[in-house]
Amino acid sequence: MINHNSSEQVTLFSTDTISEASTGDSASDGVELVSFRELVPEINDTGYLTHAIFAYPAKFIPQIVRYAINTYTKEGNWIVDPFAGSGTVGVEAYLCQRNAFLLDLNLLLNHIMPLKVYSGKERLHETDLYKLLEGMKDSKHQFTPTWSNVDYWYASEILEVLSHYWGFVNNTDSGIYSSVIKSALLKVSKRFSYTEDRTPKLARSKRKLKAIEKLLKENWKEQLDEMIHSLSLKTLKSLNDFVMYTQQHQNKVTSEIHWQGGVDSSYTTVPQVCDALITSPPYLQAQEYIRSTKMELFWLGHTEEEIRELSRFEIPYRKADRVIQTETLDKIRKMLTRDDLRKRLDSYFCHTINALENAMHQLKPNAAACIFVGNPRIDGITVELWRILTEYFTERGFVFEKVYEDRIQTRKLFGARKNKNPDGMKSEFLLILRKGATDQTFARQCEPAPGGKERPLRAPKKSPDSDAS
């Protein structure tokens, strides 16, 4: 244990320099260089089954989750993920016959999960989907998001068509088929808007304005309809593959996957003692997931007030309620010359650790906490997240087991943005901590969730007609 008031401190790792990991077969400080894609050869496509149905920034690749599940859990175990994002942990837990609690600030989780862990037992039929798609073209209903500047993001003729299509699916009681079309409409509504779909954040661009202007001179409605059709069919196939896979590989016991979007993980009680934590916290300089998915949330019926309230809880706009101190973090803090960057650093570690600590309090003794992070840079300084988390939690009764380095094979960088790290991160790290017999973390007192009221954890509907809205 490190006493920060003492001049003599026990140091788990050398911190003489703060640099990138070495490029040899074994990185410094005992970091084990691996390829999770090679360790989990049974997954040869990161978007297999239902993983690719929804677009989401910085997705957790399933090979890492599968490795952690296979190595640190058993069938029937409970897993918690306080940064659930696109629900990768939930999907992999379901496929591996584990149970999971998923928490995330983004309300999109509530719309994603009923499709991604579809519980229907029968294959879906293309003819039923086609019938619905044809009916949508003659829609007399209309739905326009309650978004004060929606006209800023769309050409009027495109908005008119999209409003009729969304009005149709919102007024059609066709269960899973409506949900399939909604998943396609989300992508189409973004592609045919003025937002720059090459970047994750909502941003109108000159390139996209010109692209839409050109499109409007062509057969744009045919292209829009064709995109909805092809995406819906692709999702239908993914769901059928999911049904076939689960029927072949699962025993009679169905996994329980509970999710709760729109909540602050720091103050949401996990009502189940868990056997493992598997999660990937947001990156230090890329936490604005609400802004990234704002357009989708509006089309799904959420209001400006809801989205604005949740956005206040994202790390860039949230003050730290305590200052996290570890040897490495203190050293980085002293190196920063800008006060705003110190505040950003303090905010990130405060609220990331609050959420981790809250979830890790519910782990059984000797349970593994598997935390997947990168080493981002702030003002040119590399921040070794895995090291800082290790220093913090080993002071509080957790035992450091190991850390894996996985070299990033593919990444999508956005050159149009002012990127402080234009080359991106070269590696990411899976940190494994074990909960000791004496847990000195504490459950953070449960407070009202964003929006003023607590929401109970919700479980996936068992009916094949579950609606993702």
Q: What is the CATH number of the domain that holds 412?
A: 3.40.50.150
| Residues 98 and 136 placed together within one structural domain of the fold | no
| Residues 178 and 48 placed together within one structural domain of the fold | no
| pLDDT for 424 | 54
| Residues 399 and 290 placed together within one structural domain of the fold | yes
| pLDDT for 25 | 43
Structural domain contains residue 22: no
| pLDDT for 369 | 98
For the ranges 41-50, 213-222, 393-402, 455-464, the lowest mean pLDDT is seen at 455-464
Task: Enter the DSSP assignment of 150.
Answer: G
CA 165 to chain centre: 28
3-state DSSP assignment of residue 443: coil
Structural domain contains residue 227: yes
Asked if pLDDT for residue 188 goes beyond 70, the answer is yes
Structural domain contains residue 72: yes
3-state DSSP assignment of residue 117: coil
| Residues 269 and 373 placed together within one structural domain of the fold | yes
Structural domain contains residue 16: no
| Residues 282 and 410 placed together within one structural domain of the fold | yes
Task: Name 430's bridge partners.
Answer: 372, 404
| pLDDT for 28 | 53
Q: What number is the average pLDDT over the span 403-430?
A: 65
- The predicted model scores a pTM of 0.86
What lies within 8 Å, CB to CB, of 130 at 6+ separation is: none
Task: Enter the DSSP assignment of 87.
Answer: T
If pLDDT is split at 50, 70 and 90, which confidence band does 425 have? low
| Residues 316 and 428 placed together within one structural domain of the fold | yes
Asked if pLDDT for residue 19 goes beyond 80, the answer is no
| Ranges assigned E (strand) in 55-210 | 78-81, 99-104
| Residues 340 and 425 placed together within one structural domain of the fold | yes
Count of structural domains, the chain: 2
Q: What number is the average pLDDT over the span 167-175?
A: 90
Asked if pLDDT for residue 300 goes beyond 70, the answer is yes
CB 91 within 8 A of CB 118: no
| pLDDT for 409 | 64
| Residues 231 and 90 placed together within one structural domain of the fold | no
Structural domain contains residue 253: no
| Residues 77 and 225 placed together within one structural domain of the fold | no
Say which residue, 413 or 253, is predicted with more confidence: 253
Asked if pLDDT for residue 399 goes beyond 80, the answer is yes
Structural domain contains residue 465: no
Average pLDDT, the chain: 85
| pLDDT for 442 | 58
Structural domain contains residue 238: yes
Q: What number is the average pLDDT over the span 137-148?
A: 93
If pLDDT is split at 50, 70 and 90, which confidence band does 173 have? confident
Residue type, 305: E
Helix 88-95 vs helix 108-116: crossing angle, to nearest 10? 20
* Beta-sheet pairing, 274-279 with 363-374: parallel
CB 26 within 8 A of CB 339: no
| Residues 237 and 339 placed together within one structural domain of the fold | no
Asked if pLDDT for residue 96 goes beyond 50, the answer is yes
| Residues 266 and 227 placed together within one structural domain of the fold | no
Q: Can you tell me which residue has the tokens 């009027």?
A: 156
Asked if pLDDT for residue 268 goes beyond 90, the answer is yes
Which tokens in the block code for residue 139? Answer: 């829609």
Structural domain contains residue 3: no
Distance between CA atoms of 228 and 11, rounded to whole angstroms? 56
For the ranges 34-43, 147-156, 182-191, 417-426, the lowest mean pLDDT is seen at 417-426
If pLDDT is split at 50, 70 and 90, which confidence band does 4 have? very low
If pLDDT is split at 50, 70 and 90, which confidence band does 286 have? low
CB 162 within 8 A of CB 185: yes
Nearest Cα to Cα of residue 445 among 261, 264, 277, 258? 264
| pLDDT for 445 | 47
| pLDDT for 284 | 83
| pLDDT for 407 | 85
* Domain around 307: 28-114+258-295+302-435
| Residues 280 and 421 placed together within one structural domain of the fold | yes
| pLDDT for 443 | 53
Say which residue, 256 or 252, is predicted with more confidence: 256
Q: Can you tell me which residue has the tokens 């509504």?
A: 189
3-state DSSP assignment of residue 180: helix
3-state DSSP assignment of residue 349: helix
If pLDDT is split at 50, 70 and 90, which confidence band does 291 have? confident
| pLDDT for 439 | 63
